[in-house]
Amino acid sequence: MNPVPLARWQFALTTIFHWLFVPLTLGLSLFIALVQTWYVRTGNEKYKQIARFFGPLLLLNFAMGVVTGIVQEFHFGLNWSEYSRFMGDIFGAPLAIEALLAFYLESTFLAVWYFGWDRLSKKAHLATAWLAALGTNISAYWILTANSFMQHPRGYTLQGGRALMADFFALITNPNIPFQFTHVLSGGLALAGFVVMAFAAWYLLKGREKELFGVAFRWGARFALIGSLLVGIIGHFQGQFVLQAQPMKMAAAEALWETEQPASFVVFAIPNERARTNALAIRIPYLLSFLSYNNFTARVEGLKDLEKAAVAQYGPGQYIPPVAVNFYAFRIMVLAGLLMIGLAALAVAAKRPESRPGLLKVLLWAPILPYLAGTAGWIVAEVGRWPWIVYGLLRIEDAISPNVSAGNIIFSLVILTGLYAVLSVLAFRLALKHGAQEAVGQAAEAY
Amino acid sequence: MDLNTLWFILITILFAGFFVLEGFDYGVGMLLPFLGKKDEERRIILNTIGPVWDSNEVWMITAGGAMFAAFPQVYATLFSGAYVALILMLVGLILRGVGFEFRSRSPSPRWRNTWDWLLFIGSLVPALLWGAVVGNLMRGLAIDARMTYWGGLLPLLNPFALWAGLTFVALFVMHGANFLALRASGEVEQRAKAVAFRAWIAAVILTVVFVVWAFFATDILTKPGVNGLVPAVLAAVALLLVGYFLRQGRFGWAFAMGALTFVLATVMVFAGLYPRILISTLNPAYSLTIYNASSSPYTLRVMTIVALVFVPIVLAYLAWTYKVFSDRVTGKKVIY
């Protein structure tokens, strides 16, 4: 049995699980720090109660993010040892820096924040909230620095079959980072906004703690709107960048088989990878040219021509990534993003949300959208890089551990995904249970 | 001193910090179901490490990250070679990590009891496996000319490595009991004080056999040049002092001597390895050393600057945290 697909499935599934928990910690840690700042500035206990209410939720997510994150750190050596040998000189550095700069900061100050309400002065305690949020978001920067190199290698030389770091500054200012980092960050803000709104909607629908959760709702709505707008706008420019850096990825995401000028945008289609065509395509003329180059008549390269160019550059081989997966994932991401903007706008516009039960009921379920969008976005980013694990430098099949058998991977795949599935269900139920506390004061004090 | 040696020392320090700090965490986790008879007592036990266990675990993550950055070949060889063992360790770490958060979120006794035992397993398994990993590092692995170990799990479960695992477990239990003697209160504190001495006796017996065995089965204590003999003797003295201070009822000193034992034992292992990191049993020339397994001089320079700037900052706020949470945990102060 070929271990490569197994190793890929394991990495994909464990990363998707990991990413169910991380983005909420990015946004929610900032949300809590900001709400608590308002508490310290105004002295209004309501803000303190909101911050404390969402604290256990943050910790639960954080714990899940940490344990699934350790698996990812080990993963590069476990299943991708040849990748680690090839890339270690470059890739290990941001990982180690992430641990040193971010993990200590967030784990230490999140714990001090959670356990320290009565031990520190108001301002010192607020500082711990901000330091935890800072650590969490710095961590995203470093891991995306590492990922950016895989997407768009910069600042390296090749020597003795290994990629060596030639310029640390070029590594950490990779032009891919500003797009990817801000895209991920604003996605985290939007997710936090929707999660906060969902909890608030539950209370408002029950008619409990109306005043408190009215405030939480309005904050959540603003977070959701700002985050959703930013993630969409940044995503648009990121797409234009990726079109330059990895044209094959964007062509697959658009299922653009033939080069077109002007290029039409495929709203929906069923890509057929054998026949290399799309069935049932619904198209909007000129739109893809405009989205790609801000010019209605620009030429956009299709998959077939890009394949010819890749063969000319890298030699014979397969270069077209899985088109259907990319195409559908990209559409799910964009559609979810547009719905998020619409819903968040409605939520912000609702002056008296407690009298809008229809909207509140929709918002109870709305966090599904940012979760879907985040997962689909990473699928495009990672699957769209196929056949490369490091774009243009190292192929996926050359990167796996030669000494780890398919049997071993099946063993770990079953154990890890089984465990993750059980834990995710438990975490989700605990989070809902937390939301359904009898009294909010109790929710904050009881543990 | 070249940068390769500097990073070897830095990784030694990170592992020493990891064993000292996670050592008592693992020990507390292993003692949890036994020293806590009632729910409140178990919550006291969990809350002694509640504010620190996560940042303690970061020492392991940082040690792994530093290994990846400075000696990527070691990271690749060790992690792919010990695949199944490390997967099991990860399962333990996952259960442990979520256990702290999950346990308190439901009052059901069955739920809590289940998680207490999962926390026990999640502390025991990594302790045992880390010991086994260290044992195998000392003995060496069948690494071939391409820096790859093909042997799978079974050769890693040799008697010497398993003994090392048991030794780690006993030392961690002792360390955890000493910590609880300092931080817990009431019945738990009394039971911890009683257990600490018994754990010390077990740790001494296991350690003495382990060191004698290592003397004959490995070259860690005997190889010419830098070796682990002096730190081993000092570690033995520190470990004996743990028992002395326990008899005297001076638990702070007992804990400090336990921590010192871990530091010296880590130094013993790494000094005995130096300049090798992974010993090949097939051919000494196949061993991974701080030179043939390292990153480029440029990367080591960059990482050195980063470490020199940020390690002191991290140490400062970690020390501050321990100061903020230095008082005893009583039933009134439990959060978990």
User: What pLDDT, in 10s, does the model give residues A185-222?
Assistant: 999 999 999 999 999 999 999 998 999 999 999 999 99
Q: How far apart are CA A301 and CA A254, in angstroms?
A: 11
The Cα–Cα gap between B107 and B125 comes to 27
Whole-number pLDDT of residue B180:
97
Say yes or no: A36 contacts chain B, CB-CB below 8 A: no
A209 part of contact set with chain B, CB < 8 Å:
no
Task: Inform me whether the pLDDT recorded for A447 exceeds 50.
Answer: no
Distance of alpha carbon A354 from alpha carbon A360, whole angstroms: 8
| pLDDT tens figures, A228-254 | 999 999 999 999 999 999 999 999 999
Mean pLDDT along residues B256-270: 98
Read off the pLDDT of residues A415-442 as tens digits, 9 standing for 90 and up. 999 999 999 999 999 988 877 765 554 4
Would you state the pLDDT for residue A307?
A: 97
Residue A302 has pLDDT above 60, yes or no: yes
* Helix (H/G/I), strand (E/B), else coil: A301: coil
| Residues 153-172 in A contacting B (C-alpha not used; CB under 8 Å) | 164-166, 168
pTM value surpassing 0.90: yes
Question: What pLDDT, on the 0 to 100 scale, is given for residue B331?
Answer: 75
Residue A447 vs residue A409, higher pLDDT: A409
Residue B1 in this model has a pLDDT that exceeds 90? no
* Chain A interface includes B83 (CB < 8 A): yes
Q: Which of A14, A103, A405, A411 to mutate to probe the B interface, most B CBs <10 Å?
A: A103
End-to-end CA distance of chain B: 47
ipTM for the predicted complex: 0.93
- SS3 annotation, B135-201: HHHHHCECECCCCCECCCCHHHHCHHHHHHHHHHHHHHHHHHHHHHHHHCCHHHHHHHHHHHHHHHH
What's the CA gap between B218 and B272, in Å, rounded?
9
Suggest the residue from A57, A403, A419 to mutate for an interface test with chain B (most B CBs closer than 10 A).
A403
- Domains of chain B, with CATH numbers? 3-326 (1.20.1630.10)
Query: How many residues would you count in chain B?
Result: 336
Q: What is the mean pLDDT of residues A290-307?
A: 96
Signed CA dihedral, A298, A303, A307, A313: sign only: positive
- Contact (Cβ atoms closer than 8 angstroms) between residue A84 and residue B68: yes
Instruction: Report the distance separating Cα A57 and Cα A35, nearest Å.
Output: 15
Percentage of chain A beyond pLDDT 90 is 94
Q: What is the mean pLDDT of chain B?
A: 95
- Please report the pLDDT score of residue A443 as a whole number: 41
Residues forming beta bridges with residue B280, ordered by sequence position: B141
Cα B21 to Cα A407, B16, B60, B258, B318, distances in angstroms: 35, 9, 10, 11, 11
* Closest CB from B51, B58, B90 relative to A115: B51
Predicted local distance difference test score (pLDDT) of residue A437: 67
Question: How far does CA B115 lie from the centroid of its chain?
Answer: 22
pLDDT of residue B306: 97
Of all residues in chain A, the one with the smallest CA distance to B311 is A100
**A434 vs A426: CA distance, rounded Å:** 12
Give me the pLDDT at residue A1, please: 87
Mean pLDDT of B108-120: 96
3-class DSSP string for B30-92: HHHHHHCCCHHHHHHHHHHHCCCHHHHHHHHHHHHHHHHHHCHHHHHHHHHHCHHHHHHHHHH
CB atoms A88 and B72 under 8 Å = yes
On whether the CB atoms of residues B324 and A116 are closer than 8 A, the answer is: yes
**C-alpha to C-alpha distances, B214 to B132, B133, B137, B160, B209, nearest whole angstrom:** 13, 14, 11, 8, 8
Q: Report chain A residues whose CB lies below 8 A from the CB of B296.
A: 89, 164-165
Inform me whether the pLDDT recorded for B98 exceeds 90. Answer: yes
Task: Give residue-wise pLDDT tens across range A104-118.
Answer: 999 999 999 998 998
Chain B contact for A138 (CB, 8 A cutoff):
no
List pLDDT tens digits, range B226-252.
999 999 999 999 999 999 999 999 999
Answer yes or no: do A82 and B76 touch at CB < 8 A: yes
Report residue A9 as tokens: 């499935």
B296: tokens are 């480029």
Name which of A69, A24, A64 is nearest A427 in CA terms.
Answer: A64
Q: Please state, in angstroms and as integers, the Cα–Cα distance from residue A244 to each residue in A184, A249, B190, following that order.
A: 20, 10, 67
**B330 compared with A425, residue with greater pLDDT:** A425
pLDDT at A445: 38
pLDDT of residue A364: 96
Number of neighbours of residue B225 by Cβ within 10 angstroms:
7
pLDDT at A440: 57
- Three-state DSSP state, A142: helix
Q: How far is A105 from chain B (nearest CA, A)?
A: 8
Residues of B whose CB is below 8 A from A419:
91, 94
List, for residues B197-228, the tens digit of each pLDDT value.
Answer: 999 999 999 999 999 999 999 999 999 999 99
Distance of CA A249 to the CA centre of its chain: 18
d(CA B252, CA B193) in angstroms, rounded, equals: 12
pLDDT surpasses 60 at A359: yes
Average pLDDT in chain A: 95
- Residue B107: both structure tokens together: 């009052």
CB contact under 8 A, B75 and A79: no
**Count of pairs with CB atoms under 8 A, one residue in A, one in B:** 224
Identify the band that residue A95 occupies on the pLDDT scale cut at 50, 70 and 90.
very high
Q: What's the pLDDT score for residue A216? A: 96
pLDDT band at residue A446 using 50, 70 and 90 as cut-offs? very low
A367-392 pLDDT per residue, tens: 999 999 999 999 999 999 999 999 99
**pLDDT above 90 for A96:** yes
Instruction: Give the span between the Cα atoms of A220 and A32, in whole angstroms.
Output: 11
**Dihedral sign (CA B130, B134, B136, B137):** positive
In the structure encoding, which two tokens stand for residue B262, read together?
């871990």
Tell me the C-alpha distance between B177 and B56, whole Å.
Answer: 17
Q: What is the mean pLDDT of residues B308-336?
A: 87
Q: What is the model's pLDDT at position A368?
A: 98
B139-150: average pLDDT:
97
